[in-house]
Amino acid sequence: MCTNPPVPPPLPSLDLINSSEISKTTSLINKNYDICQWALEPELREACAINSICLDKPPYQYKYKHYEPIAQVGPTCGLVALAMLFKGDVRPDELLNMVKAEGFSSNGEMFSCHNMAKLTEKVICLTEKSNVRVEVRQELYREETIQELLNGAALLVAYDADCNHSPCLRHGHTAHWALVCGIIVIEEPKEDYSADPNNTYILCRHGKSKYLAVWPLAQLDSSNKNLSEFSPKKKEDGLLYILPDGGMGGERGLRNQFLIVKGL
């Protein structure tokens, strides 16, 4: 297993493409049925066409689950990602009341992966979902995680968001949560699945875009592993934020941790 793969450059993000360009791309897809014909879901087809992924032939393997986007209000990205995962069975405002009551959060911020797991378990009970399991894991970019995604698991992953919301490295200063709802393995792996960082992409939803995001899994992994400190700007914005013991980069924080949810 490659535990520290080279990170490819960021892909173009749908959030930086204006509506006219999206319209042109959609028109091109409609006229040329050879473009990403393998992708039956419209949002997946559009995302792969814009990011030039598997335009002419289907990927070796892929798995995708559709979730309706939900826009976040305030620093509630983790709550919104969780609400999307449960397809509206629980609303972000309900989750906000829950995390305030538990003392996990003041404004909706979630800087602890373990607290997110506890919240997810409460939602599983509240929605009476049977056979649904949530675990806190480490080392996102590994073959086991890829196989779990191909088998239909979903992930909740914190990362640093760039100006176009794609993963970047800012030491946790722009920490943001995403719901990983699919995966694309472009070519049959020559070694294990995690050996080539340019061969595996994940499909994501998050609260700051209505578009489906496509990022290299290795890029999201590196961003998740760099979540070491709370944003200095947020310390001065006048809001109260709740951090776990040890901070964002500690054992109860976000760095090198993510949630895997199976059974939904």
Residues belonging to the active site: 77
* The two three-digit tokens of residue 215, written as one number: 């990022």
- Rounded to whole angstroms, the Cα distance separating 74 from 107 reads 7
CA angle, 263 then 158 then 89, to 5°? 40
- Rounded to whole angstroms, the Cα distance separating 106 from 108 reads 6
Cβ-based neighbours of 234, under 8 Å, separated by 6 or more? 241
Beta strands in the chain (DSSP E): 61-64, 133-137, 154-161, 167-168, 175-185, 200-205, 213-216, 258-262
- Rounded to whole angstroms, the Cα distance separating 89 from 211 reads 21
Pairing outcome for strands 213-216 and 61-64: unpaired
Owner of token pair 């070519």: 187
- Rounded to whole angstroms, the Cα distance separating 215 from 212 reads 10
- CA 56, distance to chain mean position in Å, is 26
- Rounded to whole angstroms, the Cα distance separating 196 from 189 reads 8
Facing residues of 205 across strands? 179
- Rounded to whole angstroms, the Cα distance separating 17 from 38 reads 23
